[in-house]
Structure 1
Amino acid sequence: MSQSLSRALDLLDLVSNGTRTLDALAEAVGVHKTTVLRLLRTLEEHGYVTRDSEYRYHVGSTVFTLAQTALDTRDVRGVASPVLRALGAATGQTVHLAAYDGGTVTYIDKVESRQPLRMYSRVGLPAALHATAVAKVLLGGLDDAELARVASTVDFERFTGNTIGSPAELIEEVRRSAERGWAQDHEEHETFMNCVGAPVFGADGRIAAAVSVSVPNVVLPYEGVLGLLPALHDATARISAELGFTGNSPFLPPTTPSRPSRKDTDD
């Protein structure tokens, strides 16, 4: 690396950490002020630093643009993969990663369980919007108008007695799930399977993907699947952090079953 480039990077690092004046910067890098000023002007021309009315230096917009671009182009699947596999190993259950695009939720990664009973799902296949935990999580990232529009297009096929049956019911469940920070599929797609899902957030604070854990009833009862929520939330928080998310994702642990079985309420 050339000496000038090295010094310019040192200056950028100093500015980002709060060293603001020309005198302080020159002292920190140990060179004459004229050399520091020349390097700062080059950085300023390219938007890496900016100077206020008191001739104090600050990080420029180019730095933030580069950082955001780098975070946006990180592949969610690649970032999530080791965490998904660790979650699968810890729980022994099926783990899914799903993404939303234009009204469709698609599985983009899957970790198979150690159980002989396997799920039908495959990477690349769509998930039912009204009967899967990942879909409810991802729909929770939509604004009210878009959620209503998408819900109105769903074919509410009744897979089981617990399957959501109307747009209003789906919207209510999606909003409930968003508030508590997790969603469930309580025997809604398959009578023998329960599932919990949680959101992965990107650097911009929006939902970038959803992760779920699915367990057959013969392996764990419904309450036992809810007991996997802390491990699931820890996994999604780790992935979110890797993607550059610095906020706090909501997580309200369950106290009682959040929605009664429709097999009971419909009788």
Structure 2
Amino acid sequence: MAQVQSVERTLSILEFLAEHPEGLGITELSRKMELAKSTAHRLLSTLVNRGYVEQKEENGDYRLGIQCLVIASSLLNNLDIRSVAKEALHTLARSSGEVVHLCMQDQYEVVYIDKVESEQTLRMYSQIGRRAFMHCTGVGKALLSGISKEEVDKMIEEKGLPKFTENTITDKEALFKELKLIREIGYAVDEQEHEKGIRCIAAPVFDHNGKAVAAISIAGPAERVTEERVKEELAKEIVDQSLAISKQLGFFKH
């Protein structure tokens, strides 16, 4: 397929500048691209006029402009998280042999938006579109760990902390202590808090703004998803995959 040289060069300028956020002078940029200064200047002038590149007043160097952020934000905001997460969900299902979920928060409830079935028998009621409370599910607690104390207070005010099993957290301060731990270790565990006999491990998924926009989980019978297995095997797997999804959404972990 024929390529347009000026477009190729323009895109190369943007890629070079992306690699040098501190900026590049026209001499260095021309040298790196093996271009005449006059050609580089013409292309840069067009990019500056359109807002994709800006020139620093103090030294005349060029760096990426705000219009690049506008384009990037549009792409990131329109990513279908189910498509982005699909590979990670299947990877977790294969490695764990358990059922894997992808969930989002809506009106202080978790909504199951995708699911990869386990090849093993699992007596667990879960289906796409199902809703559940946040305080008693792994995915719910993972999502709560990423929001402010005021928002958690609001959730408690609206939804309460109803008890489902003897392990359900029904005390506000206990919940805040749990969320603090989740932020420290990077994952949440549902210790048979929603359904007796089912243990679940979950981790939050972050977008390019660092906001927890979803959560993924591995769930299975407590005799199979043991506390030991969660700590020694599943914790690393789910954190790794949640980070992989987050990176595709533009998240950068400092």
For 2:112 and 2:151, locate their aligned partners in 1 and report how far apart those are by CA, in whole Å: 21
Q: Does the alignment pair 1:25 with 2:16?
A: no
Any stretches of 5+ residues in structure 2 without a counterpart? none
For 1:106 and 1:183, locate their aligned partners in 2 and report how far apart those are by CA, in whole Å: 17
Report the counterpart of residue 204 of structure 1 in structure 2: 209
Q: Does the alignment pair 1:96 with 2:101?
A: yes
SS of residue in 1 equivalent to 2:131? coil
Report the counterpart of residue 34 of structure 1 in structure 2: 38
- Per-residue CA deviations over 1:67-106 (Å, capped at 9, x if unaligned) read 2332232221111111111111111111111111332211
Q: Does the alignment pair 1:149 with 2:154?
A: yes
Amino acid in structure 2 at the alignment position of 1:148: D
Amino acid in structure 2 at the alignment position of 1:123: I
For 2:29 and 2:200, locate their aligned partners in 1 and report how far apart those are by CA, in whole Å: 56
Note the C-alpha offset of 1:29: 4.2
Number of aligned residues: 248
For 1:110 and 1:223, locate their aligned partners in 2 and report how far apart those are by CA, in whole Å: 24
Note the C-alpha offset of 1:27: 4.2
Give 1:112-261 correspondences, 5 Å limit: 112-227=117-232, 228-247=234-253
Report the counterpart of residue 13 of structure 1 in structure 2: 15
For 2:66 and 2:136, locate their aligned partners in 1 and report how far apart those are by CA, in whole Å: 44
- Give the TM-score, by structure 1 length: 0.84
Q: Flag the 1:236–1:16 CA change in 2: closer, same or farther, 3 A.
A: closer
Task: Quote the RMSD (CA, aligned, Å).
Answer: 2.1
For 1:175 and 1:20, locate their aligned partners in 2 and report how far apart those are by CA, in whole Å: 43
Any stretches of 5+ residues in structure 1 without a counterpart? 249-267
Contact 2:108 2:159 in 1 (8 A): no
Shifted more, 10-19 versus 78-87: the winner is 10-19
Shifted more, 27-36 versus 225-234: the winner is 27-36
Shifted more, 79-88 versus 179-188: the winner is 179-188
For 1:51 and 1:153, locate their aligned partners in 2 and report how far apart those are by CA, in whole Å: 51
Report the counterpart of residue 47 of structure 2 in structure 1: 43
Shifted more, 130-139 versus 161-170: the winner is 161-170
